Amino acid sequence: MFGAGFDAGSTLGFTDLVKQNTGYSYAIHFNYNYSLFVPISLELQRGRLSGGGDTFEQDQNLRKYLNNYTAFILRIDLQLGELLDKDNDVADLVKNWFMGFGFGGIYNNVKNNRVKPDGSNYVFPGKDQSKEFIASARIGYAIKIYNESDEPTYVITLCYIHNFDIGDGLDGYNDPSAIFKNHDTDHYRQISIGFTYNFGNTQSNFKQRAYHRALN
């Protein structure tokens, strides 16, 4: 069985800057369902991260950034149902909890302040555009809506996601730690809701669940 859908949620960066602002993300994904409880997904994600500001209260060096990023991620989710063999109403609810892992690339498109506002003409090093590797981990719950053949045609997912930028370029700054404290190796979190429509040949993937429910 295959699936396709979209995701949307909020983002928050953790970068060199102390102050971070809430942003947003949205994505489309395509799934191959290895089993009822193991979807493998390709995801194209767009989003916004920002932090710092134009006052010394927001950042003592008046640094700020706005990153309109694009990410491409391959991920796999493992739901508890893949590990449990019980089939009843309580077990069915527990089976839909999942953990997932993924990896991919991110294109950072950053606007920020580059010149230190103290008359020293110091230019903050870094890149406005960068392509870097990211790793992702997530945990969540899948709400499945079954059709008359007891197959999950629609799936709604609620999850927390954390993404780690291996290149440390989310905010566009790369200052030496001896000059400016690096508060975090760049990463960002998402709180997301997703929707998936499953289609294709379902009998081979989902016949085991239909068999168990028929016995009850």
Look at phi and psi of residue 200 and say left if phi exceeds 0, alpha if psi is from -120 to 50, else beta.
left
Q: Print the domain residue range for 185.
A: 2-215
Predicted confidence band at 205 (pLDDT cuts at 50, 70, 90)?
Answer: very low
Q: Give per-residue pLDDT as tens, 48-88.
A: 999 999 888 888 888 999 999 999 999 999 999 888 876 66
Residue 61 sits in a domain whose CATH number is 2.40.160.20
**71, 42 in Cβ contact below 8 A?**
no
Please count the structural domains in the chain.
1
